[in-house]
Amino acid sequence: MSCAPIGCTNRWLVAAAATLAPVPDPNNRRPPGLVIAAAGSLLVGIALIALAAASLSVGHGSFSGGVGIALIIYGLAMAGGAVALWKGSIFGRGPVVAMALLNLVAGYTFTESAPWVWLIVAVSAATVVATALPGTSRALHLRRVSSDDEPPRKADQGT
């Protein structure tokens, strides 16, 4: 590796930085459950941000502004959880499941007055199920503890 293009003086530092850079593995594919969960969370997050923009554009004073800002923050949190899940972070799973369950329940209460909300309910339900799939758990490096994983027991010493 050459240092000439960037004008560095410490070749060891450049070599160390190059070896620490993540290299994508073409054989490491995301399972369908992870893709569905991340996409569902991102889609609902984008929908909430669009709803926030609509709320802010109505102009009913500070109430619309407060609702709009809350929806923007909530939508960005959903999108952030989707990105974390997409990157394979276990810390993205909890927020995605919690917010999808909240969207599922809250959306269901609006389905009678706004039938289009069934779409949000369906996407939220698919997101919850997809995050709970075994393939998603494996991709996030979660293991089930079985009796084979336990250390061997010592025999009783005094008898």
pLDDT at 44: 94
Taking residues 110-139, report their average pLDDT: 92
Range in 15-29, 40-54, 131-145 the model is least confident about: 15-29
pLDDT at 149: 53
Report how far residue 56's alpha carbon sits from residue 88's, in angstroms, rounded to the nearest whole number.
34
| pLDDT band at residue 152 using 50, 70 and 90 as cut-offs | low
Query: Residue 138 in contact with residue 31, Cβ under 8 Å?
Result: yes
What is the residue-wise DSSP string for 41-107?
A: HHHHHHHHHHHHHHHHHH--THHHHHHHHHHHHHHHHHHHHHHHHHTT-GGGHHHHHHHHHHHHHHH
pLDDT digits (tens, 9 = 90+) for 18-29: 454 444 455 568
pLDDT digits (tens, 9 = 90+) for 56-89: 888 777 777 888 899 999 999 999 999 999 998 8
Query: Residue 38 in contact with residue 123, Cβ under 8 Å?
Result: no
pLDDT at 21: 45
pLDDT at 30: 87
pLDDT at 45: 95
**Cα–Cα nearest to 97, from 38, 29, 30:** 38
Q: What is the mean pLDDT of the chain?
A: 81
| pLDDT band at residue 123 using 50, 70 and 90 as cut-offs | very high
Q: Is the pLDDT of residue 97 over 60?
A: yes
Q: Residue 155 has which token pair?
A: 């025999």
